[in-house]
Amino acid sequence: MSVVRERSAGGILLDGDRVLLIKTRNLKGEEVWTFPKGLVEPGETPERTALREVLEETGFEAEIVRPLGEVTYWFVRDGKRVKKTVHWFLMRPLRRVKDPDWEVEAVEWVPLEEAEKRLRYPSDRELLRRVREASGA
pLDDT in tens, 111-126: 998 999 999 989 899 9
Q: Which position has the higher pLDDT, 78 or 110?
A: 110
Count the Cβ atoms, other than its own, within 10 Å of residue 126: 14
Q: What domains, with CATH codes, occur in the chain? A: 3-135 (3.90.79.10)
- Provide the CB-side half-sphere exposure for 43 (13 A, CA): 0
Encode pLDDT of 39-91 as tens digits: 999 999 999 999 999 999 999 999 999 999 998 888 888 888 989 899 999 99
Global pTM value: 0.90
Calculate the CA 36 to chain-centre distance.
Answer: 3
